[in-house]
Chain A
């Protein structure tokens, strides 16, 4: 496995997700210690010291997000685990929900204790079936065992949890859109200010953390921030779950320690490309991150600084390996169809721009492209950037500009010759 493991520390078996197995692995011992020996401030301090980064895509320090919530401010606080994993290419939270639901629940209880949360929520995407059933069963088990409810372990701490199923909208994975949906409204993202940690769910301070971010809390509290910081790099402590797919020999979910060499990860751990195929580029962290060519990836190590230096980001860990011979025009068309379909329609640049981008690329693919269409794609992407309520306008722009910057020749070829340079292939070329 690529480096040290913090989450994937046990063999997955038919029963490894159950409460009995989790307790046998030492589960809920940390919660017991927290509730009986620690104060909320101790937990927050430890999380802050660990340097834990958000794993939802933006890599915002979790401790700083928590720090905005003031304890004892005489109003309810809410915690919500974002399990609306919808970024194309990303399926890593699913591993936690399916195989370690109790780790998430224990972490959420510890976090709720630290943030004085009485009611916690898990917003899980509607398409997740097994993850939902596993999580719902785990919640049942935890309630029966007394880990949720009034006066947990006889202490003053009480906490309830609700697992809420989304209806399958991409935008509801954005924290404020998620809260709107959770409130029963349209899943429209909200303008900041106010930040969600000031006015979130029902206008109360709300922390929305990614499932993977929360799952790390138990271990950080159990072993201390110093132990956590020994894993990964100085600026990027810990590990990140990577869901790799595409033209790769061994797709799946891997836990990668920050600082791990990319070449080793791709070609040793993941078994390299499919037989006979060569790496053309990777989508590093969900389709909203800029693609990196094989040459660009080669010197990188798996951490945020290294990827930022290459002009991209690790995003949500949804890595897609793309083989040589894949038509990038068709690939961008698929991406833009997704963004067009998922735009919530609230704010102007995204509502109109996504459809505009999609129609332009559809027209190019139909052989009716004009030379200035490529500039139009650039211009629309640039003018959406930073102009939308949520990050979706930016995201589609990054995806578009990332591909256009590096594979502009394929677009120009299609416009000039009314056909794909690579026969519209999305499967890559197999070399003998």
Chain B
């Protein structure tokens, strides 16, 4: 444990740390563009300079090993002068088009300009022009004028996603980040992370392009349901105080974008592209009317009908959703208390062309809470559903069930969130809320429990599955 001194204050650093790591770990801020805790040291942006006391020059702290008794200054006059100079160099050919840049508001360059530079460019030369709106992939646009060539994206594709999809071509101030010819970024299921780690607005998400200024948006902590990894994510949606009145109000309740929420126990700072596209899952056409044999009914009467069916049935099979939260699954178990055969249904199977599994994040089971359901219903419930011949009621919760496989003659209670043809075939159909409309927890494959919070209110005609099961409790059934 070498002891170093930062701005005169003693700090216990760990052996093998750099001055940057020791400083950040102990509450001293050193600015950085190219450095990233998960990536190798590039040392190219030169903004993280510090001064070793007694020396008349500055050095970069991201590559400076801590040594016993080292005295560094993070805010001396010399450091400030060089930081300002580096900001002048970095912004020399940067277009400073924050007004039309999606990164504005969460841009490192913008923040540092105010913190460490603060003055206009001292250059009177015309800016070097470069490609704008370059199609880096199906999902990502590149603005080379904004790019400060920190090489984070290049290192990400080499060291984390290992697709080697990006590189830098040309040299000097006409260097360009480009995708490799033979391994396009499209094939990299983690490509969108480069948008997040880009410290400027050079890498832009096509689905999010010019969709919203980020200060109108609010991140709600959530969990990606795309696989059993259960990555922590932020779901960004419009802040209540910035709700639109004149424009399409649907924008107030739609997902603007999804970004990773750093969680060292699950996903680190990354998520895969599937997690970015949660809007494609949750914003499918929704079922918002309860039905009995295809006829719209009030939610209350559908619940009553379902309860009666359960009360009358001799042999019931329940197919529970692996997209249900632990709380909903527990409510289901408590309500029906093991009286009926229960099977865990894999609501989603891998999509065609989807990566099944890899060493980084992606797991083979494409449902978020199979582990939580297994903990509640036991290992046996993971089997393929088996129906006794006298089964007279099946309760299906969630997507992914082919009704043709259910026993003929058995009544069907169906809980689903989306507008699907099966809804009308059920004897009782109850519309339920989706993850973005309620709170809950999922247990991932490794047993880590994470929580998600509601982003939007649910429609009054839609029920929370937890309430549905509460209505089925034994008491309720017995009372009926």
Contacts and interface: CB of A to CB of B under 8 A. Distances in A.
B168 interface: yes
Interface in B25-56: 41, 43-47, 49
Contacts of B167: 186
A193 interface: yes
Interface stretch (A7-15, A118-126, A316-324, A349-357): A349-357
Interface in B131-188: 148-149, 151, 167-168, 170-175
A351 B172 contact: yes
A376 B125 CA distance: 12
B158 to A, nearest CB: 11
B376 interface: no
A230 interface: no
Given A191-B41, A351-B175, A352-B93, A345 B170 contact: yes
Interface string B194-219: 00000000000000000000000000
A376 to B, nearest CB: 7
A421 interface: no
Contacts of A383: 81-82, 85, 89
A126 B125 CA distance: 34
Describe B's contact surface by its main secondary structure. Answer: loop
A349 B92 CA distance: 10
A360 interface: yes
Contacts of B82: 383, 387
Interface in A326-377: 340-349, 351-356, 359-360, 363, 370, 376
B173 A186 contact: no
Nearest to A383: B85
B65 A352 contact: no
A387 B173 contact: no
Nearest to B63: A191
A346 B175 CA distance: 9
Given A191-B63, A343-B173, A376 B46 contact: no
A193 B62 CA distance: 11
A361 B476 CA distance: 88
B354 to A, nearest CB: 33
A349 B46 contact: yes
A390 to B, nearest CB: 11
Contacts of B49: 387
B172 A193 contact: no
B60 A345 contact: no
A284 B246 CA distance: 73
A118 to B, nearest CB: 28
B360 interface: no
A389 interface: yes
B172 A387 contact: no
B7 interface: no
Contacts of B58: 386-387
Nearest to A169: B171
Contact of A356 (B57, B60, B92, B171): B92
A349 B58 CA distance: 14
A359 B49 CA distance: 27
Contact of B89 (A193, A340, A349, A386): A349
A345 B125 contact: no
Contacts of B171: 169, 342-345
A387 B125 contact: no
Contacts of A342: 171-172
B90 A348 contact: yes
Contacts of A386: 57-58
B45 A345 contact: no
Contacts of A356: 89, 92, 123, 125
B148 A348 contact: yes
Contacts of A370: 124
B231 to A, nearest CB: 32
A120 B148 CA distance: 37
B86 interface: yes
Contact of B173 (A345, A360, A388): A345
Interface residues of A, number: 30
Contacts of B43: 191, 347, 389
Given A193-B65, A383-B82, A389-B43, A345 B175 contact: yes
A386 B58 CA distance: 8
Nearest to A345: B175
A363 B125 contact: yes
A190 to B, nearest CB: 8
Interface in A376-396: 376, 383, 386-389
B404 interface: no
Given A360-B125, A383-B82, A386-B57, A352 B173 contact: yes
Nearest to B47: A348
B283 to A, nearest CB: 42
B86 A354 contact: no
Contacts of A355: 92-93, 128, 172-173
B122 interface: yes
Contacts of B128: 355
A116 B325 CA distance: 64
Contact of A345 (B41, B123, B168): B168
A360 B92 CA distance: 13
Nearest to A171: B171
Contacts of A191: 41, 43, 60, 63
A353 B82 CA distance: 13
Contact of B86 (A193, A345, A349): A349
A354 B175 CA distance: 13
B86 A351 contact: no
A23 B124 CA distance: 63
Contact of A387 (B86, B122, B124, B148): B86
Nearest to B91: A352
Contact of B172 (A186, A340, A360, A376): A340
Contacts of B148: 348
A354 B124 contact: no
Nearest to B59: A386
A106 to B, nearest CB: 36
A347 B46 contact: yes
Contacts of B47: 348
Given A345-B149, A345-B175, A347-B44, A352 B125 contact: no
Contacts of B86: 348-349, 387
B121 to A, nearest CB: 10
A23 to B, nearest CB: 44
B44 A354 contact: no
A352 B92 contact: yes
A186 B45 CA distance: 17
Contact of A346 (B44, B122, B125): B44
Nearest to B93: A352
A349 B173 CA distance: 10
A386 B56 CA distance: 11
Given A343-B173, A355-B173, A387-B46, A348 B65 contact: no
Contacts of A340: 172-173
24 contacts: A191-B41, A193-B63, A193-B65, A340-B172, A340-B173, A345-B175, A347-B44, A348-B45, A348-B47, A348-B86, A348-B89, A351-B175, A352-B93, A354-B173, A355-B92, A356-B92, A360-B125, A370-B124, A383-B85, A386-B57, A387-B58, A387-B85, A387-B86, A389-B43
Given A351-B149, A352-B93, 6 more contacts: A191-B60, A343-B173, A351-B175, A353-B89, A356-B89, A356-B92
Interface of B: 41, 43-47, 49, 57-58, 60, 63, 65, 81-82, 85-86, 89-90, 92-93, 122-126, 128, 148-149, 151, 167-168, 170-175
Listed from nearest, the 4 A-B pairs whose CB atoms lie closest are: A345-B175, A191-B43, A383-B85, A343-B172
